[in-house]
Structure formats: C-alpha cells, structure tokens
Amino acid sequence: MSLQSDIASVVKSVDLELYDTVVVNENDETIFRISVISPEIENGKRKGVSLDACVELTHLISPLLDVTPPVSGEYRLEVGSPGIERKLTTLEHFKKSLGENVSLLLDEKVKIKGRLSKVEGNKLVVEKEGQTEEIDFNAVKKAKTYFEW
C-alpha cells in the first residue's frame, strides 16, 4: 500500500474524505499539507470539517509518517479543510465538487463560471444562466470553486 492510500484509509475511519495531499515550502519551512472534506451534504452544501476532527486526524496520521515520511528532512504536518474556495486540479477534485459553483479558465483564455452538475469521463458539465456547457477537462488551464455571497 502507498502512503497516500494509508492516509486515505485513516481519513475514512473518521468519516471524512481525503481531498488532497501536497508538499509546500513556505518561509524556509517544508509543510506536508493534508486536506480533508466531509462526505455529507446538508441543504445542498457540503458540511464543514471541525477543528477537533483535524486534531484527531493529526494524531492518527502522525505515526504513519514516522514510519514512512512524506519527504526527506524536517517538515511540519498540517491537516485541515481545503476551504470553501479551493483549487481544482484533478478530475477527482471535480467529482468531489459536484453541485458547487466553479470558475474555469480555459486554454483560449475563456472564463466560465457556473454550477458543476456532472463529471463524465473527461467531460465537465457546467450549468450557467439556464444553459449547460460541456467542457473537456484537458482544456481547463485553471479551476477553483467559489462561494457566492
């Protein structure tokens, strides 16, 4: 089993879903960042992740990383939610964002904003102003979810 799948199993054991793992360097510090989301939808929106759940996950995941470090050298572990507005970089991210507002920048510098209604294969279906638009995932240069106040 890989470290990624081990982490996903631990996350699932506390009724959450692994959203992403990433290694970043900030202020001369290496950070192994684990983002988790709730699988539960309430009133059409994904439920939040509590601070207590993030602390619990940190304690559960830390021993795994002692055995299989994610990077060589010193690093800091961060476990948290990716937030309401988050980057979408993989098809899996899009699948976990169904029903949410998305902003897409396509290769041709065309920007599309709307509600993500479906992901089929490499096709993303976005509804905007009563119309649906199919977009090829490979045409997306940048994407993120956004919250409308």
pTM comes to 0.84
Dihedral angle over CA of 39, 21, 78, 16, nearest 10: 10
Question: How does pLDDT run across 44-73, given as a tens digit for each residue?
Answer: 778 899 999 999 999 999 999 999 999 999
User: At 1, is the pLDDT very low, low, confident or very high (cuts 50, 70, 90)?
Assistant: low
Question: How does pLDDT run across 32-41, given as a tens digit for each residue?
Answer: 999 999 999 8
d(CA 148, CA 8): 30
Q: Which amino acid is present at 66?
A: D
